[in-house]
Each structure stands twice: as C-alpha cells, then as structure tokens.
C-alpha cells in the first residue's frame, strides 16, 4: 500500500467554484512547509483526454512534458507548485473505461462479469495511488472534477470512499468545496445548499473532514457554527474562501484560514514550523504595485472565452510581476481585423501576441495584424499558429510569394511555407497524434531568444501538426527572417526571428505552458521588456 498521504477534493452546489485553485493553493502551502506534493485531476467525461475538445467547451488544453493533453487545472498546479505534471496527473472516465475494456479484451478478467463495481472503481483507485507509489511524493492531492450528485461522477465518489478505507485512518482526508450564496434581498448568507450537498456526500458514504466555503462575503461565526453543526465538521474545519482580486491571493487566504494546518493535523503529519512563503508574498506585492504599464493586444479567435488562453494570460502576469509592470491584455478577435481596421485596432498597443489555434477562421486577420506590427516596429510575439502566420505574412509580403500559406488552410497553395511533415501525413486518428510534449531546441547565439534564455539548449512543449517548410529556409534568411531555434534531432524550425526588428519572435512551441510564479518564462519577460522600452521611445 502507498506510503503517501492522500487529500481528496470534491465539489458541491455548482461547478466553477475554483476547486483547482484551492487544491493548488493547499499544495503550495504544504510544499512551503517542506512536503513533496503533487496534484492530480480526475475528470468524469468520456473523452480519453481533452485534446479533442473545442476550447469553447473546456478552455485551453494544457500539455505536459511527456506530451499528455490535459485539463487546464494542471496548468494551475504547475504554476502554483513549480513542479512538472505528467500523463498520470490527469485521468478521465474515458481513460478508465478504455483501460478496463482493453484488459477485458486481453482476457485479464476471464470468466468474470466486468462491472462498474469492482472493476471500474478498482481501476480508478489504481490510478489514484499510482503517483503515491513512486515514492516521489509525501502528499497527493486529488481533485475530482464535476459536482457531487452528478450521475457521471458516482464511480469516482465511490472510489474515494473505498480509497479512504483502503489507506486507513489518518492517511486520507476529504475536503468538500461548496458555495455559500448571498441573497441580497434577504441580506443573508445561505447555508442550505451546502447542507444538501454534504448530505449527498453522506449518502455516498463520505463524511467530509473539511469544508471550504466559497463566498462573496466574510462568514460570520454563527454561520460557521451552523455549517459545522449541520455538516458534522469541527468548527475550525469550516474554511472561508472569499472572492479574491487575483487567484495568486488564494494561498495566503487559505493560510489565514489555516487550511494547511487543519489538513496536516488530520493527516497526523508534523506542521514543521511556518510555511516559507516570502517569495510568494514578494511576487504578489510586485503584481499589486507595478511601476510601469503596457498594453498588449492578444489576437486570437477564441477571445470570447479567456480560459481558452489561460496559460498565456497567466504568463503575462508572471512576466509583468518580474518586471514590475502591469500588463493590460486587450483581447482582440482576429475576425474583426481587416486591412482597413488594423491601424485603428492596434495603434495604441505596445506589443501584439498572436495566439495559437486551429483551422481557417480568423487567419487573414492574424496575418493582417502581423503585417502591421512588422511594418510599424511594434514588438511581436507569435505562438505556434501565431508563428506560422508570421511566416506566411513574411512570405507573401516580403518574399513576394503570392498565395503563400499553410497547407492546413490552403491545401493547394503554390507556396506551402508551412506544411505537414511526412510522418503526420499517415495519421488517421485525431487524438494524441500531434507533435506533443517536450522537445529540445538549439538556440542561435546572439539572437534575442538566446539573450532571453541565457542558454543555448532549451526544452519546450509542443502541440501541433504543421511545421516550417525547410525548403524556404535560405530565402527567408536572406530576406531578414531567420530560424534562430532548431530542433537538433529533427532539424525542424522551432523559433523564427526578424533580428532587425525591435522584437519579432515566433515560436513553434508553447512557452506559456512552462511559465510559473517562481519561474516567469524568459520569452514573455523579454517580450514585455521590449514593449516597455518601445513605449518609452
């Protein structure tokens, strides 16, 4: 049996209460007390992973070093804990059933009727304990997606009940996150939805140890008492989670409520003094007291749903804090940008980032935006599709390659400057088949990315099928756009730069995925720095 201790986080009343942030904040505090912590998420949907989901459905797809396409909460875990996650940190119902059905076909259950209990719940538990059994962690926090009471999360809740029994007393605890709504007309905070939600957990055989109560108003003592009494928890295990200015406040708010202490006491683990959170406090004070300010246009096609670009938005906060600069992100729909409107839209921007994406919608607007910033010396940062669009724009408008395009968007283009690699052409399945995960890249000495990284070899994460077409490499270089990052294994282009521009960098990889509070990403820092300098000039 696993030697690690387990904390399960369930949710009730409604979704979107910020379970991921609470889990990440608790993990952060336990880590700051010297514990080795990781967080995993179990999602009750049937997709094998979120890689095939439209960002409008589920927000950004977060990619790990080992190439797993995962839920965006894993991004929060990495940003708060500064520890890499992996495929094992995100498991869906689809993956559980897939594993069980594969075993059944192999004959592993020969003679048995394969059922939700015990086979599905056993497979869930095997995955609950996987990371704990590596010996790499003292505490495993497991977030259960969805809400208690949903039909689809029942097997997960049952598995939590059993897992708690399996590991024995004091080795696991359940934190239930709920909402305490405030009724304006009655001027009252209401505890009934939480009582019902806990009742539902009790029906499933789980008594929560700690309640974390999301609220817009501070919880007075009588409300805390009522919650404690009717939900069978100790008074000091009713934890208030009040709406915060920034998600990065939440660890400090949880500290104030002593969530970390409660968890350690219940797990019979030593508190080891106070958590070391000075660096975190310092980061927050930089976020809240900037000395500079820049306006950055984020040009993308999913801008109505900022969660679609979650990691980019957070990377701007990390880089901004590092430079003591407030980064005002202006979300601009690429579909609204035309030759006529581009100046009006972008003239007040100190920098423009063109976002990753898939498919044709909004492409011409992205290309128009890139032409404008290239010609007007406005700092530019292109990520993945954003880099590909910069290559197309340069091909068309500088090299005079009429109709240059990516074959993703124009199959029969006369100038396929971005094209599918041979090994991608054979692929028939969409799920998990892109160039995914961490790849090495050699950076050219003296380039802006080299100055930013301060290193000649880097590792960055990928998620795409199309690549720069190396047949055009020389022509681009001669005209002023160079490949300054090359994959040493495959020779694929990973970074493009116009060295003569104040800042014009495009990356085939996704740097935003590796930016954390403690390690702001060097390319985001250098881009914001260029925007600050450009503004001053």
| Alpha-carbon gap, residue 74 to 60, rounded angstroms | 11
| Alpha-carbon gap, residue 451 to 523, rounded angstroms | 10
Place of tokens 């990284």: 453
Q: Stretches 3-11, 291-299, 303-311, 353-361: which one binds ligand GLN (CB under 6 A)?
A: 353-361
50 vs 275, beta carbon nearer ligand GLN: 50
Structure tokens at 198: 């806990």
**Do 319 and 346 form a contact (C-beta atoms < 8 A)?**
no
| Alpha-carbon gap, residue 138 to 134, rounded angstroms | 10
Binding to ligand GLN (CB under 6 A) within 366-385 occurs at 384-385
| Alpha-carbon gap, residue 110 to 103, rounded angstroms | 10
Residue 103 as a binder of ligand GLN (CB under 6 A): the answer is no
Largest Cα separation within the chain, whole Å, is: 77
Q: Stretches 179-187, 261-269, 350-358, 468-476: which one binds ligand GLN (CB under 6 A)?
A: 350-358
389 is catalytic: no
Structure tokens at 385: 């599709």
| Residue 134 per-residue DSSP state | G
321 vs 492, beta carbon nearer ligand GLN: 492
Residue 463 as a binder of ligand GLN (CB under 6 A): the answer is yes
Residue 460 as a binder of ligand GLN (CB under 6 A): the answer is no
Please identify which of the residues 231, 325, 384, 441 carries the catalytic annotation: 384
Closest CA to 464 of 313, 357, 341, 368: 357
Q: CA separation (Å) from 398 to 364, 372, 393?
A: 16, 13, 8
Closest CA to 333 of 312, 372, 364, 311: 364
280 vs 468, beta carbon nearer ligand GLN: 468
One residue of 351, 356, 506, 520 binding ligand GLN per CB under 6 A: 356
Size of the site for ligand GLN (CB under 6 A): 10
152 contact partners, CB below 8 Å, separation of at least 6:
44, 45, 93, 146
368 vs 529, beta carbon nearer ligand GLN: 368
322 vs 463, beta carbon nearer ligand GLN: 463
Verify cis geometry, omega within 30 degrees of 0, for the bond prior to 175: no
Question: Does an H or E element contain 532, and which?
Answer: helix 522-536
Min. distance of Cβ 384 from ligand GLN in angstroms?
3
Min. distance of Cβ 506 from ligand GLN in angstroms?
11
CB neighbourhood size of 101 (10 A): 12
Residue 514 as a binder of ligand GLN (CB under 6 A): the answer is no
Name 420's bridge partners.
466
Sign of the Cα pseudo-torsion (522, 483, 435, 299, in order): positive
257 is catalytic: no
Closest CA to 140 of 178, 105, 91: 91
78 vs 408, beta carbon nearer ligand GLN: 408
Residue 450 as a binder of ligand GLN (CB under 6 A): the answer is no
- Read off φ and ψ for residue 175, nearest 5 degrees: -105, 125
Please identify which of the residues 322, 450, 462, 510 carries the catalytic annotation: 510
Q: Stretches 68-76, 201-209, 216-224, 356-364: which one binds ligand GLN (CB under 6 A)?
A: 356-364
Binding to ligand GLN (CB under 6 A) within 329-348 occurs at none
84 contact partners, CB below 8 Å, separation of at least 6:
64, 65, 78
11 vs 365, beta carbon nearer ligand GLN: 365
Q: Stretches 80-88, 121-129, 354-362, 492-500: which one binds ligand GLN (CB under 6 A)?
A: 354-362
Structure tokens at 155: 């097997």
Binding to ligand GLN (CB under 6 A) within 406-425 occurs at 408
Structure tokens at 252: 């400090």
| Alpha-carbon gap, residue 396 to 78, rounded angstroms | 39
Q: What angle do CA 37, 43, 47 make, to 5 degrees?
A: 130
Min. distance of Cβ 358 from ligand GLN in angstroms?
4
318 is catalytic: no
Residue 465 as a binder of ligand GLN (CB under 6 A): the answer is yes
Q: Stretches 303-311, 425-433, 463-471, 497-505: which one binds ligand GLN (CB under 6 A)?
A: 463-471
One residue of 215, 249, 358, 364 binding ligand GLN per CB under 6 A: 358
Name 485's bridge partners.
443, 495
275 vs 386, beta carbon nearer ligand GLN: 386
Min. distance of Cβ 69 from ligand GLN in angstroms?
11
Place of tokens 């406005």: 378
Sign of the Cα pseudo-torsion (136, 138, 143, 144, in order): positive
Please identify which of the residues 123, 415, 512, 521 carries the catalytic annotation: 512
138 vs 512, beta carbon nearer ligand GLN: 512
222 vs 422, beta carbon nearer ligand GLN: 422
Q: Stretches 73-81, 113-121, 230-238, 462-470: which one binds ligand GLN (CB under 6 A)?
A: 462-470
Min. distance of Cβ 437 from ligand GLN in angstroms?
13
Min. distance of Cβ 514 from ligand GLN in angstroms?
15
Q: What angle do CA 392, 394, 397 make, to 5 degrees?
A: 105
One residue of 357, 365, 382, 485 binding ligand GLN per CB under 6 A: 357
**Do 224 and 235 form a contact (C-beta atoms < 8 A)?**
yes
Residue 464 as a binder of ligand GLN (CB under 6 A): the answer is yes
Residue 468 as a binder of ligand GLN (CB under 6 A): the answer is no
Q: Stretches 93-101, 190-198, 394-402, 460-468: which one binds ligand GLN (CB under 6 A)?
A: 460-468
Residues annotated as catalytic (active site), given as ranges: 384, 510, 512
Query: Which residues of the chain form contacts with ligand GLN (CB under 6 A)?
Result: 356-358, 384-385, 408, 463-466
């Amino acid at each position: 049996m696993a030697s690690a201790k387990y904390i399960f986080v369930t949710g009730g009343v409604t979704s979107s209460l910020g379970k991921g942030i609470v889990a990440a904040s608790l993990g952060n505090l336990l880590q700051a007390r010297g514990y080795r912590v990781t967080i995993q998420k179990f999602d009750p949907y049937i997709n094998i992973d979120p890689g095939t989901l439209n960002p409008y459905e589920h927000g950004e797809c977060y990619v790990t070093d080992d190439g797993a396409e995962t839920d965006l909460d894993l991004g929060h875990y990495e940003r708060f804990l500064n520890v890499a996650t992996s495929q094992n940190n995100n498991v869906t119902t689809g993956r559980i059933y897939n594993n069980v059905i594969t075993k059944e076909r192999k004959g592993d259950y020969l003679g048995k009727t394969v059922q939700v209990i015990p086979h599905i719940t056993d497979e869930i538990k095997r995955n609950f304990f996987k990371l704990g059994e590596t010996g790499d962690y003292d505490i495993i926090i497991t977030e259960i997606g969805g809400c208690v009471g949903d039909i689809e999360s029942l097997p997960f809740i049952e598995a939590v009940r059993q897992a708690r029994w399996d590991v024995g007393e004091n080795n696991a605890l359940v934190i239930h996150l709920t909402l305490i709504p405030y009724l304006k007309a009655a001027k009252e905070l209401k505890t009934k939805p939480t009582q019902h939600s806990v009742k539902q957990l009790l029906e499933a055989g789980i008594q929560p140890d700690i309640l974390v109560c999301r609220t817009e108003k501070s919880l007075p003592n009588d409300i805390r008492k009522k919650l404690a009494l009717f939900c069978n928890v100790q008074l000091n295990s009713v934890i208030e989670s009040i709406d915060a200015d920034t998600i990065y406040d939440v660890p400090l708010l949880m500290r104030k409520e002593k969530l970390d202490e409660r968890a350690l006491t219940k797990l019979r683990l030593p508190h080891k003094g106070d958590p070391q959170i000075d660096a975190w406090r310092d980061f927050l004070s930089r976020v809240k007291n900037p000395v500079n300010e820049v306006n950055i246009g984020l040009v993308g096609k999913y801008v109505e749903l900022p969660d679609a670009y979650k990691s980019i938005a957070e990377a701007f906060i990390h880089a901004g804090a590092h430079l003591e600069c407030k980064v005002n992100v202006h979300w601009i729909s690429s579909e609204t940008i035309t030759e006529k409107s581009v100046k009006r839209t972008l003239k007040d921007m100190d920098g423009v980032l063109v976002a990753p994406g898939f498919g044709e919608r909004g492409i011409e607007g992205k290309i128009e935006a890139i032409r404008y910033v290239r010609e007007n010396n406005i700092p530019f940062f292109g990520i993945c599709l954003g880099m590909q669009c910069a290559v197309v724009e340069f091909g068309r408008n500088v090299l005079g390659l009429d109709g240059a395009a990516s074959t993703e968007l124009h199959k029969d283009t006369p100038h396929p400057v971005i094209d599918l690699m041979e090994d991608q052409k054979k692929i028939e399945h969409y799920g998990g088949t892109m160039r995914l995960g961490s790849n090495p890249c050699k950076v050219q000495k003296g380039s802006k990315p080299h100055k930013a990284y301060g290193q000649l070899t880097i590792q960055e994460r990928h998620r795409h099928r199309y690549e720069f077409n190396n047949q055009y490499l020389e022509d681009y270089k001669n005209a002023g756009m160079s490949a300054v990052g090359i994959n040493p294994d495959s020779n694929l282009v990973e970074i493009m730069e116009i060295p003569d521009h104040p800042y014009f960098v495009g990356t085939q990889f996704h740097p935003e995925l590796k930016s954390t509070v403690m390690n702001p990403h060097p390319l985001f820092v250098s881009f914001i720095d260029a925007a600050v300098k450009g503004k001053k000039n």
